[in-house]
Amino acid sequence: MGIEEGLKDKYHRPKQPVITEEAKAWVISIACQKPKDFGYAAEVWTRKALAEHAKKYGPESGHDCLKKACKATIQRILSEHPIRPHKVAYYLERRDPDFDRKMEEVLCVYKEVNLQNETLESGEVPSVITVSVDEKPGVQAIQNIAPDILPDPEKQSRIMRDYEYKRLGTLSILAALDLHSGHVIAQVHDRHRSSEFISLLKEIADYYPAGSTIRIILDNHSAHISKETMKYLAGSPGDSFMFILLNTVRG
C-alpha cells in the first residue's frame, strides 16, 4: 500500500461495539413493519418512537444493549442498511395484466408526436392532432378576508397576509394540452361529470379546423367512458375524435 499508507493507523474501534449485530437485526426487523402492527396509532415510525420501542421491548427480546437506545443509536443502525421508515414514496400498482402493452402504446404515440413536430413546417397543422387531457378536481376556492400588507423598509420585508380566510367551496379544472403547439384549452367547473367533460370536448372540436382528426390521451375516469360521453362521440363530432386511454384503448 506504500510508505505513506504504512505510517497511518488502520481504522479500528477503541472498544468493542455495545450494540450487537443481533440487536441491530432486531431493530431493522421492527423498522420494516408498521407501528400499528405493535399497537401504536401511528402509520409510520419516527426515530424517537422506534427508540422508545427498542428501549422498552429490546431487553425482553434478549437485547439488553438496547435498554439505553436513543434517537442517534437508531439513526446509526438504520443508516447502515439504509432504511428510512419515516419516509413515504408512492408507486403505481399494476393491476391490469395488459399494462405493459398499453403503456408501450401510449409511449409510441408520444414518440410519434415528437417525429411529427420535427417534420412540421412553422404554423402547419398536422393531419392528426394529439391532445393530452387531464383534470384536477376538488381545488379549494378560498378568499382572503383582510387586505395584504405590502413590504415596508421600516417594518417588514415580506408581504403580510392574514391567516384567516373564507372557504368558497371547491372547483374542478379541466385542461387539454396541444402536444404540437403547446396551446392549452381549460375550463373551470363546480363539478366534474360527463357533461363538464363533454363541454371541454366541444371547445376542443370548435378550436381546430373542421374535418381534423383529434387524438386525445387521457385516463379512464368514469366521465371519459360514460354512456353520455360515448353518445356524444357517436354523433357528428365523434368522427373527428380518437381516444387513447391509459388503461383502456377505445377507437
Low-confidence residues of the chain: pLDDT under 70: 11-13, 15, 17, 236-251
Note the pLDDT tens digit of each residue in 131-144: 999 999 989 989 99
pLDDT of residue 12: 67
pLDDT of residue 237: 54
pLDDT of residue 251: 32
Q: What is the pTM of this model?
A: 0.61
CA distance 61 to 68: 14
Cβ–Cβ under 8 Å, residues 66 and 54:
yes
Three-class DSSP category at 26: helix
CA distance 180 to 120: 9
pLDDT of residue 232: 87
